[in-house]
Amino acid sequence: MKIYTKTGDQGTTGLMGGTRVAKHHIRIDSYGTIDELNSWLGLIRDQQINTAYQEILLRIQQQLFAMGAVLACEPEKGSGKRAFKIKLPNLKSGEIKLLEVEIDKMNETLEPMTHFILPGGHPTVSYCHIARTVCRRAERLISELSEQSKVDEQILVYINRLSDYLFVLARRLSADLKADEIKWIPGNKS
């Protein structure tokens, strides 16, 4: 299989189902941002972090890949020769709950938050904050897409919960790595 097809040379790409759309189409931007997020999670997983976090991140990456495939499908084309029926594996039955359980478990071991936290303190923590902001961007794009086209509502719930998970993971990694959490204090110039 050749990597380059030359079919996108004019600024369009094909959805699963056959329709060609502009490469800047909201659907392409949505699943492209999920792909970007998945890459950031791979970078975090490659760091010297607890293997339990690495395993959860791998599970999340698998879920994001499936979401990208779902978002790449044309929901309006439910049948026909080139139609695809892709289901999100286990999303409805537990992946959102898994994120919530992991958030709660990590949160129980952290100091209570009294202020917003500035991203940084350690490269691994910063990667986590970048992933969180990419996740929020994906959420905004998928939300916009859902106003134009049918999107499985569980995708938005999952992505929303994932950004919370990444925030708490960044805090947990700060503690594990003994990195300072710098509080944002309005009016503080230092």
- What is the β-pairing status of strands 116-118 and 20-22? unpaired
Which candidate, 161, 163, 100, 92, places its Cα nearest to that of 129? 163
In order, the DSSP letters of the chain are --S--STTTTSEEEPBTS-EEETTSHHHHHHHHHHHHHHHHHHHHTSS--HHHHHHHHHHHHHHHHHHHHHTB-TT--SSTT------TTIIIIIHHHHHHHHHHHHTTSPPP-SEEES-SSHHHHHHHHHHHHHHHHHHHHHHHHHHS---HHHHHHHHHHHHHHHHHHHHHHHHTTPPPEEE-TT---
Q: What is the per-residue pLDDT for 89?
A: 55
23 close to 13: Cβ distance less than 8 angstroms: yes
Residue 87 has pLDDT above 60, yes or no: no
Using 50, 70 and 90 to split pLDDT, how confident is the model at 82?
very low
Q: Regarding the domain delimited by 20-74+90-181, which CATH topology (the fold level of the hierarchy) does it fall under?
A: Hypothetical Protein Ta1238; Chain: A; (1.20.1200)
Q: What is the per-residue pLDDT for 80?
A: 44
d(CA 60, CA 99): 9
Q: What is the per-residue pLDDT for 8?
A: 60
| Boundaries of every domain in the chain | 20-74+90-181
Q: What is the per-residue pLDDT for 27?
A: 86
Burial of residue 33 (number of CB atoms within 10 Å: 0-12, 13-18, 19+): buried
How confident is the model over 54-71, as a mean pLDDT? 93
Residue 169 has pLDDT above 50, yes or no: yes
Instruction: Provide the whole-model pTM.
Output: 0.86
Residue 81 has pLDDT above 60, yes or no: no
Residues facing residue 187 across a β-bridge: none
> Letter for the amino acid at 114?
T
Q: What is the per-residue pLDDT for 184?
A: 86
